[in-house]
Structure 1
Amino acid sequence: MIGTEAGTSMAGTVADLQGDLNLIFVRARSLWKESAARLHPELQVAGYKLLSFIDRAGTANAHQLAERFEMDKSVISRQVRMLEDFGLLESRADERDGRLRVLTATPRASAQLSRLRAEYAARLRDGMGEVTEEEILAASKVFRLLAEV
């Protein structure tokens, strides 16, 4: 279909989608940076993303984080150490394998993250006032498919 009018139209539509995704990624990075600073002035974006994941998951270990975020284990280790130093993360020995550390967000970090999520959810709802539930479901489907590409 390349070269046909429909193919050209689809190529333009995909190019527009790529541009819009780039804007979303820039905005997400900005929100992560803002959120990290609100949790702790020295918290890096990488640490915020790890902490947010751990909080949502309930617990995690460094191996899981390295796989999930495709980060080197040394980066994970440094971020975990900083999160612990900032009082945002706790670790304990894994009951099944004492070599592993189970990581959990502190109650204070969980409460702060919950507040941030609620604020951002309200901003998202306000910003999408004209979007129907069906359109949101369709967008979610597109994002899920793109995540698998």
Structure 2
Amino acid sequence: MSAPDAPATLAVESAPEADSTPDVETAIGDLQTHLNLIFARTRTLWRESAARIAPDLQVGGYKLLTFIERAGTASAHELAERFEMDKSVISRQVRMLEELGLLESRPDERDGRLRVLSATPTAREALSELRRDHSVRLHTVMAELSPEEIRAASKVFRLLSEV
């Protein structure tokens, strides 16, 4: 779950050829309501996950750490671009992650002026444990759905991610 914060609401513009019957409008309204609930639950899950890694870890730091861990390495410049954050915010979060023993920094081999950031073994293990727990939760929730229903839900999320 290493993406920038989702919007509080999702605006959906109707395509000219889209069916705008009351049933479709009701279904889209229900979808928007449930997406907003998912976004709220995601923010709560980020807070809970950050606290499990380290009590003082902020959500922003957690998201940076998960991105760095999945990518293998990253620079502060890459993080600022990816998360659309000011470099000073990135610097503070990186410093906190280093102080918590979750992030290592070393000079870039190609350009010694740059720093390469990577997750520590402690961070990698903690994130791996979180992912296992999250996977168990997801499997438990999805157990009542058929594979076809899960594929349909996945298609909806893929289409929404392309908007």
TM-score, normalised with respect to structure 1: 0.91
Give % identity: 66
Instruction: Name 1:80's counterpart in structure 2.
Output: 94
User: Does the alignment pair 1:21 with 2:39?
Assistant: no
Decide which of 118, 123, 148 is 1:104's aligned counterpart. Answer: 118
CA separation of 1:138/1:68 partners in 2, compared to 1, >3 Å: closer, same or farther? Answer: farther
Decide which of 79, 92, 103 is 2:106's aligned counterpart. Answer: 92
- Richer in helix (by share): 1
User: Does the alignment pair 1:129 with 2:149?
Assistant: no
Instruction: Name 2:53's counterpart in structure 1.
Output: 39
Structure 2: runs of 5 or more not aligned? 1-14
Give the Å deviation of 1:6: 4.6
Partners of 1:69 and 1:143 in 2: how far apart?
21
Matching of residues 44-55 of structure 1 within 5 Å: 44-55=58-69
Amino acid at match of 1:113: L
Q: What's the secondary structure of 1:90's corresponding residue?
A: strand
Structure 1: runs of 5 or more not aligned? none
Q: Contact conserved, 2:103 with 2:123, CA < 8 A, in 1?
A: yes
TM-score, normalised with respect to structure 2: 0.84
Question: Which consecutive segments of 4 or more residues in structure 1 shift more than 6 A?
Answer: none
Q: What's the secondary structure of 1:83's corresponding residue?
A: helix
Amino acid at match of 1:107: P
Q: What's the secondary structure of 1:112's corresponding residue?
A: helix
Amino acid at match of 2:54: H
For the aligned residue pairs, the C-alpha RMSD in angstroms reads 1.9
Partners of 1:91 and 1:142 in 2: how far apart?
39
Q: What's the secondary structure of 1:91's corresponding residue?
A: strand
Q: What's the secondary structure of 1:104's corresponding residue?
A: strand
Amino acid at match of 2:144: E
